Structure 1
């Protein structure tokens, strides 16, 4: 799709509880199937809206964003003790092979999905680790989120993820979003 990022001047929009209509905390945590001692990464974490929701359920959470400005916004609101901020491109994250139990991306897959990024995600996940994606769908009407032409639909996301060596366990297309759960 091409690299772009969310405008940091609109960061306040990332804290809007209306985001839960696209994926709730309960749905996200349920799909992650995490345990208290797990280490997880939020890819494209922005201001930490969903990082804050997942962090109480894990030992360590890495909030990964390519824009340090987003981390500044997160610092302003307060970062939980078990959350570490990581400024990195998804195709080159500073984690060891198999270090993470799960990773998730909420409304950012369209910003980073590439062969290199997906190979990197496969590398950092332990065997059996989960990759949960909730993103805007190209099948939507574009009522919210990025322009439709910048999005993937569920089928294309499935193809990209399986090409990177993941097995898709669950997927669903919705009016404006899709969700995909894959296992390494």
Structure 2
């Protein structure tokens, strides 16, 4: 079973140091991501990236923020309970080994950040996410680089860049862009064709 993030260390997920890895606002702009009607934040954790994701929505759009860890979801909901963001976000606890509760071709955009290395069945998860995307829908996969770093999980717990590329291709995604933010992460923008 893949290693899961320890919710007792959730302050790490809230650290502004995470913005040194990449600037979400600048990244989304550089990748020309915007005006989505439906976004899936797969592995929302503490909701650190939700304020940035909300900016990608159309005026009537919704973010579905899902996680398998109840404690992290509760934290995120409590953090944003008085925020206007709550009008745009639906939180949902999922079971890792159950089908996702969404119709096929439901999402315009799926955000999968710092979660991929925790998946027990990464190939199956990517196939499921592909199924949930509309045609030309986008997947933004961000995960740790497999090298020594001053933050993040140990290298032995993450995938090699080529493994992720192969899994995306095997799951019928077309990779549009690959970005290295050394020594921390790889960023893949993929599309359902």
1:1-184 residue pairs with structure 2 within 5 A? 2-30=1-29, 31=31, 33-35=33-35, 37-58=36-57, 59-79=61-81, 80=85, 81-89=87-95, 92-112=99-119, 114-138=122-146, 140-173=147-180, 174-184=182-192
Relative distance call for 1:166 and 1:89 in structure 2 (3 A) is: farther
How far apart, in 1, do the equivalents of 2:38 and 2:145 lie?
Answer: 28
Greater C-alpha Rg: 2
Q: C-alpha offsets along residues 55-89 of structure 1, whole Å, 9 cap, x if unaligned? A: 13311001111111111101221152110111114
> How has the CA–CA distance of structure 1 residues 89 and 3 changed in structure 2, closer, same or farther, with 3 Å as cutoff?
farther
Paired with 2:71 and 2:102, the residues of 1 have a C-alpha distance of 21
Moved over 4 A (4+): none
Aligned residues: 181
How does the TM-score come out when normalised to structure 1? 0.91
TM-score, reference length from structure 2? 0.87
Please state how far the C-alpha of 1:157 moved relative to its aligned partner. 0.7
